[in-house]
Chain A
């Protein structure tokens, strides 16, 4: 018994415990709640940092608890887990700061932050899960923890959005559970293994395995918003801005995308999946989703909805990178997990700032907003160019590797998809930038709040600036050790293509 067996569990509890305490706090205990939130977030970041250092030096972190007689609840920190944990822990810290500023003075904050913490707990659990049943448990917990956040405002619209959200995610969860149990009856194990654990199964199981693959990917595709399972995402936009940010950048959609990575690489194994013939259709589906999401985004006037459809498109880059089934594309997909998170959270923070400060919700209301809120729009611009894939911002690095990876595997048509997607991204982001920076501002804003000399509250402004800077940094410094790209390469070497 030593420390390293408990650190993964501590990473999970570092947000669970504050969350449970916060539920019991009275509404007016603002300071104590803030302290609990921030301490939890900082402890988590510190623990993740420690595990990073440890894994670099070859340490092993694993918590194992008995769940059923021959199935364990396993939390393990491998390179791939750490990529996602680091993203979650880092962005949770930033989003917590943002949410404290955003919700200042609004009702039901104890409930909000309680579920907010549970949500991150679930995400971290998804990231650290060492086998499929642990993954499933946290994946379902994530559904349950996000529901109260979606319906947080308690309006009729929110209730309906919550209903749609659940209709999709509960269905997806049920598919995932079915696939998991089925797999377990065939293999007797669910432990994530580099190159998968199915190689020993004979040819007579090919049909069953294909069906299981479809079940698992469909179940995960709901959260990853793969077409045709994307319908919940734009509707869930009624949630408060920090929730949208978290849903889109870190928690929900990423849990789905991350699950797809796990299934392809650590359950089926990439060679086995290719042999089974299931990766090709996944490439097509991902490519279709990329184009479809971008097309839909073109026609949205509501800013958050436009961003939502953009998410539908962008998250599928990860699935695409995985399904191409080559090392370089995998690196592109992996690194996009982080890059998309940084860029999209920036965009949602900015959208929240516009709504909170000026009451702007529509793209058509944004004329000249760049003069009124230059810093916010600067961060937004960075995020938007990143999404388009302009160097040196992080998005370029992802797309570059995805394109190279596709060529490497002889799937040249994917490059066309990427190029088309970039064009479409430009077509729905550049008009926003043009309107915001070059049009004349109106005489009055829809609903302006006064912040004196500053353009908005500091707690709202700093988070997007920080994440925008990180998005630039991740692109500029991609070749340094510890950049997301370097880590993605390490994952590919150590986990996916282990000799």
Chain B
């Protein structure tokens, strides 16, 4: 048995804490909210502690129970994992601050929400720490089921339809991924990423496996044109759930894809597949943005905006061939900023719905004066989504543009240019109506302060990311997750 280091302890804690919280919240239903908040705070602190030790000591490796690969479960935390864990903790904490007020007064909702949400958080943390493709499958499946259950939480007809579509998509995606895992295990006798990376070669079996895994993950990430399930699911779920689906859950499957790409796929597949992913990404950026612009309902607009923003991450694939570190850093930075900004947007939308009883954009009715914090949150999150400075989105877009121009990829430059303008168009469409008076007057309900502040703090976080490029990029360098490709490619 290797000695347990501080980092390993925190790595295990970050999985066990939300799991324990989920079980306790399930058992002691009347205290579910209090247990949930406690678990959220504890998990976030553990994430911060893990980040500190990883920054100080480098990549964490931990063999659960002392059984290393190929028999046991390996946990690994390098810079990329830690960034994702921190992202999850930040958004998770804000959602946990928001949810109690949101569900207050509804009889059974809190006791259903907290166990599922903490369970989902467990799945996310375990996923970001997993170092083998089977373990990734297990966490992905747990995550998907928890997410579907959360989507259906309200029990309304549209939510059930959305959840059903989501369930089919997520099961199909996992199944495809699992088939790929089985093929690889059969062929090479291991599920450990590092081991596979050494053993795989370009045979038809490997190609089939990679195709299946890719397709499954793309479906789960809702990359255009496989995004059909996302808008109905994300827009019909309860607001805290929409926020965590859009901000975190789609990132999980993207993360797996990125890991596999970096360590197993990229050396094998050549440039063609990367080009294809880039093309789909470009389609997502344009199609998602145009759809968002056409929406008359705020939650649908935000959901389509997610479809568009996911596309940006995939623009990094063709660019990574010649500018690996810049392109991947850009994608990671965009993913992080998007998580904060998109969660803030959904929470802000939730406040507007609570306030006016509807989310029709044209009838927002002077909310800029009546809910300034919420509109401020939406605006700041919008600034980051547009890629305007100062914000995390700006840094990400700058890096991505830099990589594209340096390689003379004017097609991708054009997509980013147009995409940015379209985001501005749909964000300011909402903000413009926030200033004007509606034709029909609505009764308004008060919005609890915690809901307004949760949205605003997340949005401010997205803005502050614009000034934190150096530490974040330094963190991404820990364990060198991106350089591997550059040397081989």
Contacts and interface: CB of A to CB of B under 8 A. Distances in A.
Nearest to B400: A181
Interface string A67-107: 11100000000000000000000000000000000000001
Interface string A42-54: 0000000000000
B470 A178 contact: no
Contacts of B388: 140, 143-144, 173
Contacts of A141: 389-390
Prevailing SS type, chain A contact patch: helix
B139 to A, nearest CB: 33
A67 B467 contact: yes
Nearest to B437: A154
B285 to A, nearest CB: 14
B395 A68 contact: yes
Of the candidates B369, B433, B437, the one having the most CB atoms from chain A within 10 angstroms of its own CB is B369
Contact of A171 (B372, B398, B421, B432): B421
Contact of A174 (B369, B420, B437): B420
Interface stretch (B44-52, B220-228, B401-409): B401-409
B436 interface: yes
Contacts of A296: none
Given A137-B390, A141-B389, A173-B388, A178 B417 contact: yes
Interface in A144-164: 144, 147-148, 151-152, 154-156, 158-159, 162-163
B428 interface: yes
A304 interface: no
Given A111-B372, A144-B383, A185-B402, A68 B469 contact: yes
A166 interface: yes
Given A67-B469, A154-B366, A181-B401, A170 B435 contact: no
Prevailing SS type, chain B contact patch: helix
Interface string B405-439: 11000000100010011001000100111011100
Contact of B401 (A140, A152, A177): A177
A67 B466 CA distance: 8
A147 B469 CA distance: 27
B405 A69 contact: no
B469 A69 contact: yes
B13 interface: no
A159 B413 CA distance: 31
Nearest to A73: B467
A406 interface: no
A184 interface: yes
A182 interface: yes
B473 interface: yes
B400 to A, nearest CB: 9
A143 B467 CA distance: 20
B337 to A, nearest CB: 14
A68 B405 CA distance: 18
A68 B394 CA distance: 11
A364 B467 CA distance: 52
Contacts of A154: 366, 368, 435-437
Interface residues of B, number: 33
Contacts of A23: 372
Interface string B349-386: 00000000000000000101100100000000001001
B424 A170 contact: yes
B369 A147 contact: no
A136 interface: yes
B462 to A, nearest CB: 14
A18 B343 CA distance: 29
Interface string A116-142: 000000000000000000001100110
A185 B435 contact: no
A141 B405 CA distance: 24
Contacts of A151: 432, 435
Interface in B15-31: none
The 4 tightest CB contacts between A and B, nearest first, are A137-B389, A181-B401, A154-B435, A185-B406
Interface of A: 23, 65-69, 107-108, 111, 136-137, 140-141, 143-144, 147-148, 151-152, 154-156, 158-159, 162-163, 166, 170-171, 173-174, 177-178, 181-182, 184-185
Given A68-B395, A151-B432, A162-B435, 14 more contacts: A108-B369, A111-B368, A111-B372, A140-B389, A148-B435, A154-B366, A155-B436, A158-B436, A159-B432, A162-B428, A166-B424, A173-B388, A182-B405, A184-B402
Interface of B: 366, 368-369, 372, 383, 386, 388-390, 394-395, 398-399, 401-402, 405-406, 413, 417, 420-421, 424, 428, 431-433, 435-437, 467, 469-470, 473
8 contacts: A111-B368, A111-B369, A136-B389, A141-B390, A162-B435, A174-B420, A174-B421, A185-B402
